[in-house]
């Protein structure tokens, strides 16, 4: 009897040791729900905390299914509603709100890793807080790295925390670099689908409607990144993201259009060898890779069938038509607060485009105007980054009456 109890105690502690506790910022979004699909299938992943913006019906369903310790929602009204609605089944779940709530999710003592699947610069403070608390980060929220990469990467080094890319291109590069430590990278080849308007001229883009821009040929994603893919600003943000993640110069990052979205990115080493990671377009692979790194575990889903694959093609990006990509190279070369200007102007412009207040091409115009007028702050602090965001919003509000 005693022996049995001791054996079961051993098994329990072994299971606890093998269990990875996961917190998610943005659990109701595209990346957030796909992360939960993985957790649902894997017995050694355990969800301990979630945060959402305003989709409280989905958040409620997540709380009922996964019984997290903490759940955050943006407004206190929604939090109060949720407290009442989940009290019967999950009374142990603390429902919190606002930035304080996001910070609590990001730093919860029980978690091993935080998946940052929130959209936009709102992720900066919670990501930094999580790193301070020693949490590994599965980073999807690229806007945070674009604006505060200099702070985040050095803090992560200081705290011994891993920043594991979730973005498919960066995960591909990360996978290609495995086992290559000490070998010098010549360049990163960041692939891009080219979005729904690949091959179109600037004149064609004048006619673009919201519905056309929301129709991505290969990927199903949240609305903001879908528009970013259509403008190719997404690829620009990813160039900046790659610079911070892999510590390379912008001139070492080449964007290559790969319309079938099968080659997720490549690394060229100094001997000329090029390593690539291929797969079907499915975000669950990079999410799961970040959750289990360095281990690979079974993931169900469609496999590449090379007997059916008719072509894998490559093209040069059209920087004149998709000027947002060019602006991103310019922003990262300038450095300091300029990437924040690019990102914040884009966030506001995309929100306005989604509300049908501006045209597709005005997204580029807003970014250009803010970049032209900005006085760069070198090495900005978090407060200066947020003040720059505020300046961008005021500048656009003052000039764009739409
Ligand atoms: P979604 O729009 O689908 O989801 C965003 C999530 O953030 C939702 O849970 C939303 O909550 C929450 N949220 C939005 N605003 C706030 C706010 N003010 N406060 C708190 N929470 C908020 O986005 P995606 O999942 O598509 O993208 C998330 C991040 O991952 C982005 O940075 C994107 O660039 C990146 N990424 C996404 C990919 C994809 O395939 N989707 C691929 C690679 C990177 P709610 O819905 O409840 O309001
Ligand atoms: Mg990507």
DSSP code per residue over 122-141 = GGHHHHHHHHHTT-EEEE--
Tell me how far the alpha carbon of residue 278 lies from the centroid of ligand 2, in angstroms. Answer: 14
One digit per residue, the tens of pLDDT, for the chain of length 402 reads 333 444 555 555 555 568 999 999 999 999 999 999 999 999 999 999 999 999 999 999 999 999 999 999 999 999 999 999 999 888 899 999 999 999 999 999 999 999 999 999 999 999 999 999 999 999 999 999 999 999 999 999 999 999 999 999 999 999 999 999 889 999 999 999 999 999 999 999 999 999 999 998 888 899 999 999 999 999 999 999 999 999 999 999 999 999 999 999 999 999 999 999 999 999 999 999 999 999 999 999 999 999 999 999 999 999 999 999 999 999 999 999 999 999 999 999 999 999 999 999 999 999 999 999 999 999 999 999 999 999 999 999 999 877
Exposure string for 326-336, b = 16+ CB within 10 A, e = fewer: ebbbbbbebbb
Q: How far is the CA of 212 from the centre of ligand 2 (A)?
A: 20
Tell me the helices (H) and strands (E) count for the chain, helix number first. Answer: 17, 11
For the chain, give the number of residues: 402
142 Cβ below 6 A of ligand 1: yes
Query: 226 CB contacts (<8 Å, ≥6 apart)?
Result: 213, 214, 216, 219
Domain ranges of the chain: 11-165, 170-226+247-315
Q: Which of 221, 226, 231 to mutate to test the pocket of ligand 1 (most atoms within 8 A of CB)?
A: 221
73 contacts 53 by C-beta, under 8 angstroms: yes
User: CA-to-CA distance for 143 and 148, rounded, in angstroms?
Assistant: 8
Cis previous bond, 294, omega within 30: yes
Whole-structure pTM value: 0.95
Question: What span, in angstroms and rounded, lies between the C-alpha atoms of 16 and 18?
Answer: 5
CATH architecture of 11-165: 3-Layer(aba) Sandwich (3.40)
54 touches ligand 1 (CB under 6 Å) = yes
Where are the alpha helices (H) located in 19-141, listed in sequence order?
Answer: 30-41, 56-66, 76-86, 98-107, 124-132
User: Three-state DSSP class for 269?
Assistant: strand
Verify whether ligand 1 is closer than 6 Å to residue 216 (CB atom). no
From the CB of 30, is ligand 1 less than 6 Å away? yes
Q: For ligand 1, say whether the CB of 123 is within 6 Å of any of its atoms.
A: no
Does the Cβ of 72 fall within 6 Å of ligand 1? no
Q: Is the CB of 73 under 6 A from ligand 1?
A: no
141 within ligand 1 shell (Cβ under 6 A): yes
Which atom of ligand 1 is found nearest the CA of 143? 32
Instruction: With beta carbons less than 8 A apart as the criterion, state whether 62 and 95 touch.
Output: no
Which residue owns the Cα nearest ligand 1 atom 2? 222
User: In testing the pocket of ligand 1, which one of 31, 147, 190 has its CB within 8 Å of the most ligand atoms?
Assistant: 31
């Amino acid at each position: 009897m005693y022996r049995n109890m001791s054996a079961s105690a051993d098994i329990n502690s072994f299971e606890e040791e093998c269990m990875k506790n996961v917190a998610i910022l943005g659990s109701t979004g595209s990346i957030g729900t796909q992360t939960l699909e993985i957790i649902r299938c894997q017995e050694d992943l355990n969800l301990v905390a979630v945060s959402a913006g305003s989709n409280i019906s989905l958040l409620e369903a997540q709380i009922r299914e996964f019984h997290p310790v903490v759940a955050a929602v943006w407004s206190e009204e929604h939090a109060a509603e949720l407290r009442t609605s989940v009290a019967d089944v999950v009374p142990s779940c603390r429902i919190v709100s606002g930035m304080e709530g996001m910070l609590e999710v990001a730093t919860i003592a029980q978690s091993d890793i935080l998946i940052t699947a929130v959209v936009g610069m709102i992720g900066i403070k919670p990501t930094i807080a999580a790193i301070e608390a020693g949490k590994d980060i599965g980073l999807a929220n690229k806007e945070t790295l674009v604006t505060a990469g200099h702070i985040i990467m050095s803090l992560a080094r200081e705290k011994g925390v891993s920043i594991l890319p979730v973005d498919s291109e960066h995960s591909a590069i990360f996978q290609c670099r495995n086992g290559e430590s000490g070998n010098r990278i010549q360049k990163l080849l960041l692939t891009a689908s080219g979005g729904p308007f690949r091959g179109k001229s600037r004149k064609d883009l004048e006619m673009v409607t919201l519905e056309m821009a929301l129709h991505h040929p290969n990927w199903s994603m949240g609305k903001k990144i879908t528009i970013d893919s259509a403008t190719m600003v997404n690829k620009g943000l990813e160039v900046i993201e790659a610079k911070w993640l892999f510590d390379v110069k912008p001139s070492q990052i080449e964007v290559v259009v790969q319309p079938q979205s099968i080659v997720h990115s490549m690394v060229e080493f100094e001997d000329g060898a090029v390593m690539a990671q291929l797969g079907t377009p499915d975000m669950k692979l990079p999410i799961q890779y970040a959750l289990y790194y360095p281990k690979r575990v079974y993931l169900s889903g469609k496999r590449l069938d090379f007997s059916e694959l008719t072509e894998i093609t490559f093209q040069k990006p059209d920087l004149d038509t998709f000027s947002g990509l060019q602006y991103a190279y310019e922003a990262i070369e300038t450095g300091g607060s300029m990437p924040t200007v690019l990102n914040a102007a884009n966030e506001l412009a995309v929100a306005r485009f989604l509300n049908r207040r501006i045209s597709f091409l005005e997204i580029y115009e807003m970014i250009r105007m803010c970049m032209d007028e900005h006085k760069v702050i070198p090495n900005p602090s978090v407060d200066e980054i947020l003040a720059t965001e505020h300046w961008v919003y005021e500048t656009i509000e003052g000039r764009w009456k739409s």
